[in-house]
Structure 1
């Protein structure tokens, strides 16, 4: 089979290839094309050349292309989900959820493209500006380099591509080496549109060849989702570029003393600490439970964990190295293992650890696997302090029905999002999404990313009378 990528909107056969194997059963899923230096240069040059033309393309034309992508993904939804599941290993039910989210992401981008306007500001509030007004609009910063991770191989690519195309910014997408096939499928759908040549490319460039691409001044925006060390190294390498980082987390869920439906909390925490093998930046990793309900809650949590189906609910981690790292962290956690703790190849058992050592990686780092820690607290203020005692700050969940507690959490927790009455794993793709501290900078969510990819430009109108 020919290996290909997409260069400046056109399918390009490559000499270099990348075989993609399923994390679940090791079978060959497909083959991606690895572009050579000339093909990468052609993609970057085309993005730079078309930037002004694409920025001036009418909103209805950009929106029509995004609507087409959303519609075609919906028409091919089962095929798309099967590919996601095959190359990533996540159970098919989670692959279907991801497909549905990507469909919505492109649909929202089409809607936002139509209403992404400007702000009119009267200036005659000051005597010196009588007869003047300002029109404030946003224009693309320039072509975008979007670097996506393996854990959501379609929807996190969509969160790079859809906002860029919506605002009129050309984009070069670099999918994760482990999961490039979903991005290439998306490229095939984009190729059906009438977007100008150079408006987009899909380049499965190996990680060790990314430095020149990141540094290229013709790509003034870098949007990266992935690991903390890589993300911050990119930001440090190109300090004069506009860099957005969606990095890791060790998300906490707080079960407050007023929360009475412990079964619901246990079910949600068990599921969303282990969905797609815990390989989500907002998978539940730390559970903080009010001491007054701790002894009632823990057995419920263990029962919900035991009820999970390893194949249908959890699935494998991405590779052997990840499985070995996770098992190693569990073994030296220093806590009491209440459930799980074992592994069979890439299938890591859903694991619950009570009271790990304060410095244990399962508590302080991002496990990115099906591992959960449980600790008790005496006061809500203490719990909030425990949530904040982390290098990360992506999202937190707070199980409470007390409105003052909810507002206190919003004020006190140093995270990008507080989810009340549910786990921190909830994300609506149209809302602002991002973190603080080591969890990154900038925001995803279609409208938020559109603002990140653009900058304000003011037009002052004078002699208005």
Structure 2
């Protein structure tokens, strides 16, 4: 199978193709077209022309296009999930859950397309403003360049393409090199839904080649990127006056206070740690547990982790499969070994089993070990005990990242204390940091990024405000 570029509503061949292999068994899935800079510029020009049509398209038509994509996803949910499972090694039940979320994301985008509003401004609130009526409107930016990661290859595309189309923009999409098929599938659905040719273009290939064109081309009004902090910093430094939204890394933490119902919360925290092999920006990576419940928490956590089934992502029983690349397995294993050498106790896992890194639990890890202070993006969790709730909050903040954090406590004062003190984009009280629904504001502070996703909030990022003022006779 060859997968060609998607430019101006048509497939386009390239001089170079690259084999796409399954992370689980290394079988070749497809041959993927690799765009040159000229082809990226062609996609941008296509989007630039289509943006004129999108700007004039009525809101209800944009909404209907998005609603059509929703219906197509519902009809093809199993096929879409299998695409995700094959190219990302995401367990099929997790892939099906992603498709369901993708459906909801486009549904929210359709609703938001009909609900983009401005406001009236009381001009006479200031001297000299008498005799005037004013209001604001939100208008599309034009061409949005979207760069998406491998871990949610359909839903994170939806979080960029959905609000962009809802707001009346055109898009040039660069999906992750390991998961391009999901993005091309969505492009087909938008064509079937009646989206104008050129309003959504998909280009695959070298991140540096495509990224350099995105940052330098003046026809691009905004870049929305989800990926590594290093690449995000480079984009921001080189994007000039373009608007930039960045969703970057994290090493999300959970604080478990005393008097918490351990048996009730442990299954949820385990799910938050090991879903899709821990390759989620808000995966549970650091767990801080009060010393009075530490032993019982660890016992329950290990027991729950042992229930996870490792294997083929297409097997309905599988909970944990292969990491996205062998290099990531080698890196995560080295970080585990480093923590053990530095005094951490290996409570469970730590080995590779038929190409799958076992879910790993480390106890009382140093906070400057890589498994704590860097983003693991692997099925690796450390559990440390604390005596003071204040200390635990300080440990959470002792990170260059700040995406989301979870706090389990029955003490209302401590809950409000955590909500105020934690320097993160989202504080989840009595829940894990992996919680996300697709219409809530989502984004981080520090090296976790800038700007917010969540359809309504992404629409605000992807539009600009215009003031209209009438001087009355």
TM-score by length of 1: 0.97
CA distance in 1, matches of 2:438, 2:48: 29
> In the alignment, what sits opposite 2:432?
423
Indicate if the aligned counterparts of 2:396 and 2:422 stay in contact, CA closer than 8 A.
Answer: yes
Q: How many angstroms does 1:34 deviate by?
A: 2.4
CA distance in 2, matches of 1:423, 1:2: 41
> In the alignment, what sits opposite 2:33?
33
For residues 15-64 of structure 1, give each alpha carbon's deviation from its aligned partner in whole angstroms, at most 9, with x where no partner exists: 42232211112222223322344432221112122323311211011111
Indicate if the aligned counterparts of 1:319 and 1:346 stay in contact, CA closer than 8 A.
Answer: no
> In the alignment, what sits opposite 2:10?
10
Q: How many angstroms does 1:405 deviate by?
A: 2.3
Could you list the structure 1 runs, at least 4 aligned residues long, displaced by more than 6 angstroms after superposition: none
Distance 1:37 1:386, change over 3 A: closer
Indicate if the aligned counterparts of 2:144 and 2:170 stay in contact, CA closer than 8 A.
Answer: yes
> In the alignment, what sits opposite 1:364?
373
Q: How many angstroms does 1:358 deviate by?
A: 2.7
Indicate if the aligned counterparts of 2:37 and 2:209 stay in contact, CA closer than 8 A.
Answer: no
> In the alignment, what sits opposite 2:467?
458
Indicate if the aligned counterparts of 1:323 and 1:345 stay in contact, CA closer than 8 A.
Answer: no
CA distance in 2, matches of 1:107, 1:392: 31
CA distance in 1, matches of 2:355, 2:135: 56
> In the alignment, what sits opposite 1:114?
114
State whether structure 2 residue 191 is matched by structure 1 residue 228: no
Structure 1 segment 100-111 matched on structure 2, within 5 A: 100-111=100-111
> In the alignment, what sits opposite 1:376?
385
CA distance in 1, matches of 2:18, 2:410: 50
Indicate if the aligned counterparts of 1:226 and 1:247 stay in contact, CA closer than 8 A.
Answer: yes
What is the CA RMSD across the aligned residues, in angstroms? Answer: 1.4
Q: Which of 312, 319, 322 is 1:316 aligned to? A: 322
CA distance in 2, matches of 1:50, 1:212: 19
Indicate if the aligned counterparts of 1:398 and 1:418 stay in contact, CA closer than 8 A.
Answer: yes
Indicate if the aligned counterparts of 1:255 and 1:265 stay in contact, CA closer than 8 A.
Answer: no
Indicate if the aligned counterparts of 1:276 and 1:314 stay in contact, CA closer than 8 A.
Answer: yes
Structure 1 segment 151-166 matched on structure 2, within 5 A: 151-166=151-166
Structure 2's unaligned 5+ residue stretches are: 312-317
> In the alignment, what sits opposite 1:214?
215
CA distance in 2, matches of 1:48, 1:58: 18
* Segment drifting more, 408-417 vs 28-37: 28-37
CA distance in 1, matches of 2:445, 2:367: 21
* Segment drifting more, 184-193 vs 87-96: 184-193
Q: How many angstroms does 1:363 deviate by?
A: 0.7
Q: How many angstroms does 1:345 deviate by?
A: 5.5
CA distance in 2, matches of 1:134, 1:406: 43
Indicate if the aligned counterparts of 1:3 and 1:15 stay in contact, CA closer than 8 A.
Answer: no
| Count of aligned residue pairs for this structure pair | 463
For residues 106-159 of structure 1, give each alpha carbon's deviation from its aligned partner in whole angstroms, at most 9, with x where no partner exists: 110000000112111222223421222221111122211000011111111111
State whether structure 2 residue 400 is matched by structure 1 residue 391: yes
* Segment drifting more, 336-345 vs 245-254: 336-345
SS, match of residue 11 in structure 2? strand
CA distance in 1, matches of 2:411, 2:166: 40
> In the alignment, what sits opposite 2:262?
262
* Segment drifting more, 172-181 vs 291-300: 291-300
> In the alignment, what sits opposite 1:409?
418
State whether structure 2 residue 342 is matched by structure 1 residue 336: no
Q: How many angstroms does 1:402 deviate by?
A: 2.9
> In the alignment, what sits opposite 1:353?
362
State whether structure 2 residue 333 is matched by structure 1 residue 327: yes
> In the alignment, what sits opposite 2:253?
252
* Segment drifting more, 273-282 vs 261-270: 261-270
Indicate if the aligned counterparts of 2:133 and 2:472 stay in contact, CA closer than 8 A.
Answer: no
SS, match of residue 192 in structure 1? helix
Q: How many angstroms does 1:395 deviate by?
A: 0.3
